[in-house]
Amino acid sequence: MSYIIPFIILITIVVFIHEYGHYYFAKRYGVGVTDFSIGFGKEIFGFNDKSGTRWKFCIIPLGGYVKFFGDRNVFSQSEQEEILKKYSKEDQTKLFTLKPLYQRALIVAGGPIANFILAIIIFSFIYMFVGKDFTPPKIEEVQIGSPAEKAGLEKNDIIISINKNEVNSIMEVSTLINSSPNKMIEVGVLRNQKEMIFTTYPKTIDSKDSFGNSIKKRVIGIKITPVNNEFKREKLGPTKAMYYSIKEIWFVSKTTIKFVGALIIGQGDTSQLGGPVKIAKISGQVAEFGLIAFLSTVAYISISLGLINLFPIPLLDGGHLMFFLFEKILGRPLKQKTQEGFFRIGLFLLISLMVFTTFNDIKDWAAF
């Protein structure tokens, strides 16, 4: 239960915000919404609002959906006449498929947009009321024979960048090294008030994360400490907090895209992929560290959900946006059979990913 309850809370928050993004733009543009569901399967409880939308919680808490009035998975030009005959003039104004292209695109993109906004709000809250770490990292020790020594890094070098990413905190050094899909890493340092760049090739070792989970970790063989042995945490104003929040979202998104690219070309570490069990395990472990750690995890999961949904895979939001792009270019929607073919491909890809992440989850289960 120590894992299940935090997991359900985390998933409920992230999924609700995602689906509310779709719901908000749908209502804004007059699209009828018949169902707003958190979870799948049999309904546990729910209620109807004044507009007739059924708000409900279902038994399988692994996602959610917003169902539009007259919802159809595919739509072709030839179907439009049938739709016009089937519905009254009043009902036609509530149909998603008859809305202008830009409105449909915003309704679909509303979910990921809401996820990014949630992350901005959480990070901004943390940076304003708890503070953001700005402790400069200094190299305290360079291991003999390590990649860092071979590259020319020395004791007392102050790390200012990694792969052209500015290092603002001692906490970012390991993150930037491990999130890079490149074999080579450029480390920028300040030595005797002079900026220098060194090229190093990290080695991968078996290690443990903060919670004791087994991970593959990239290291260059250095020990770092705060400059002047002082940690610097600063509470930010609203504007600066929002700036660093957006910067964090951009970093996570960029890193995720690079990781996916590395997986596609066979260079990524597939053992890091996980599904519901892994998320449940992490959310439970993080919850033990307190509210701030848990909120940070919610923000990162929200970014991941928003970004992944923008991938151009049919059945995901990005797949629908891809169809809308084709519609804009061609001047008409793709034919129904063509869209159905894409949906089958998307379904195959998603099922394959689910099977793979479930396999990783089963391996993770042994660590419970």
**Active site residue ranges:** 19
For residue 174 the two structure tokens come to: 């390991």
- Run of H or E residues at 59: strand 54-68
**SS3 at position 212:** coil
**SS3 at position 183:** coil
The Cα 325–Cα 169 span in angstroms is 41
For residue 72 the two structure tokens come to: 């159809």
Q: Which residue has the tokens 């090294």?
A: 177
The Cα 164–Cα 206 span in angstroms is 27
Question: What contacts 141, CB < 8 A, 6 or more positions away?
Answer: 155, 222, 223
**SS3 at position 239:** helix
Beta strand spans in 132-237 (E): 132-133, 137-142, 158-162, 165-166, 185-191, 194-200, 203-208, 214-219, 222-226, 233-234
The Cα 71–Cα 352 span in angstroms is 27
The Cα 29–Cα 31 span in angstroms is 6
Q: Which residue has the tokens 């209502």?
A: 27
Nearest to 138, CA basis, from 223, 232, 234: 223
Asked whether the beta carbons of 298 and 13 are under 8 A apart, the reply is yes
